[in-house]
Structure 1
Amino acid sequence: MPYGSHGDLIDHLQRKLGEVEQRKRAGAQRMAALSQMKDQLSALSVTVSSPDRSVTVVAGAGGGVQSVRVSQDALDGSAIQLSSTITSTIHEAVAAAARQQAAIVQEALGGQSTVLESVLQTQAEAFGTTVADLKAKLADERPVAPPRPIDQGADFAEEDFLDERPEERPAQPAPRREAGDEDYIDPFGAA
């Protein structure tokens, strides 16, 4: 037997079992992160307006254009000007959606991925700007994440719940009802 005693074997097996449990928890956390990523990507919607607010474009995950709205004021200019404004606003909306999509994927995959840096670098080169400028734009574009649903089987040992508290509002007292009110029901049964 390669182990000195049964106690050594039991200790070794317990360590191995602990490692398996740790990997199982890590896998469950990765699956939860990927599920959350999928939900965030399917809900992704970015709205961008032209500088003069005459054109508004909504784009989703994968750069799909969901809608284009043109104001009445936009029709006062030339067709060439309107086409140019629509095209540039679509490009901005699709780029913003790609940045948000990359940020969601990066968040889910953590340090394993460089997708966000790749997207920012590519866009910086394409738009003649800097990665730092695009990171600043991304910070402004990112929506506030909705609270995560509670996973009844999750291990919350390392969670920080203080950051996710909704604003507390003072309770409003119920209006006082009197026995003379026509729709008053006495909770104690007195008629």
Structure 2
Amino acid sequence: MSGEFEHLVAEFERFQAGIRNADDRFAGLGTMRQQLTELRASAVSPDGGVTVVTGPGGAVLDVQFTEGALAKGPQALSATLLATLREAVGEAARRQAVIVEENMGDDLGLVDQVLETQAVAFGTTVEELRSKLPEEAEAPQDFSEQRVLRPADPPPAPPAAGPSAGDRFLRNLFDEED
């Protein structure tokens, strides 16, 4: 019976370790959420006539025009605005990917996926976009080797076939009462 009890204790300890790992991994979610909420990215057109500020998800928060930009006419203003919007939204997406990767680990290669997608969409290179990434402020906590929803080790094999010590004990207990 002590072998079965030890097995149950080991299973319980593995379960508790899994909960601690999940707690550790998700402890920074509040910080990540705040960072994402406060995220701001801006882009200025090459001539300085249009400025666009975006937030999380590429939401446009502000658009500013100079008198010179307005004087260029509708087609030129429209083209400049779209190019500047694209740059600001792309910057916001890159920053979001960096924040998520810093807080959750790079198991998915999120930043690389965003850079590759934007390189194709914007007709540039991954290296060019990578050069626009913010410098790393501090080394993020690395949870990449930890498991969240499944144990790190496979569960041990069940005890050998046949009645367990607990089953034998209960049978003996009830057999003695008859």
The question of whether the paired residues in 1 share the 8 Å contact of 2:95 and 2:134 is answered with no
- CA contact under 8 A between 2:90 and 2:118: conserved in structure 1? yes
Paired residue for 1:108, among 103, 106, 116? Answer: 103
* Equivalent of 2:84 in 86, 89, 99: 89
Deviations 1:20-41 (A, max 9, x none): 4433332122222222221111
| 1:8-157 superposed matches below 5 A | 19-139=14-134
Letter in 1 for 2:101: Q
Structure 1 range deviating more: 97-106 or 15-24: 15-24
Q: Once structures 1 and 2 are overlaid, which stretch shifts more, 36-45 or 20-29? A: 20-29
Q: Secondary structure at the match of 1:111?
A: coil
Deviation at 1:75, TM superposition (A): 2.1
Once the two structures are superposed, residues 3-60 of structure 1 have per-residue CA deviations (whole angstroms, 9 ceiling, x without a partner) of 3xxxx966x6776565444333321222222222211111111111111211100011
Secondary structure at the counterpart of residue 57 of structure 1? strand
TM-score, length of structure 2 as denominator length: 0.67
Q: Provide the TM-score with structure 1 as the length reference.
A: 0.62
- Relative contact order (alpha carbons < 8 A, sep ≥ 6): 1 or 2 greater? 2
Segments of structure 1 that go 5 or more residues without pairing to the other structure are 146-191
Paired positions, count = 138
Stretch of structure 1 that moved more, 13-22 or 124-133:
13-22
Which consecutive residues of structure 2, in runs of 5 or more, have no partner in the other structure?
Answer: 139-178
